[in-house]
Amino acid sequence: MKDYVKVRFGLFDSENDPIYEGFYHPSNASWNGFLNPYVNKKVFDKIKNDIVPKVFNPDHDDEEFWLELINQEPNQDGLYFVGCGLTWWDENDC
């Protein structure tokens, strides 16, 4: 994990949104201006419980996208990629 940079991030849609701790990789730090974070298993499970029910809209969203996100395996560094087109912000950018 030597190439990853620590980051605190969230959706920042409201003042009550949780802030998570994770990492980003400098070679893939953002997508369309939004952070591409990686997290450990504990944070990944918390995001699945906090964010997916809040953001997923079965009337408008592609269920396959969400299933791929929540059912993914960790990468070679034991981290889960939660960028996936979600509008994450680095805490320092808000």
Which uninterrupted H or E stretch holds 74?
Answer: none
What pLDDT does 14 receive? 78
Q: Which domain holds residue 69?
A: 5-93
Q: What is the pLDDT of residues 5-27, one digit of tens each?
A: 999 999 888 788 899 999 999 99
Query: Total domain count for the chain?
Result: 1
Reading the block at residue 2, the tokens are 């030597």
Which residues share a beta bridge with 90?
9
pTM of the model: 0.85
Contact 91, 73 (CB under 8 A): no
The mean pLDDT values, 10 residues at a time, for the chain of 94 residues are 91 86 95 94 93 64 76 95 88 85
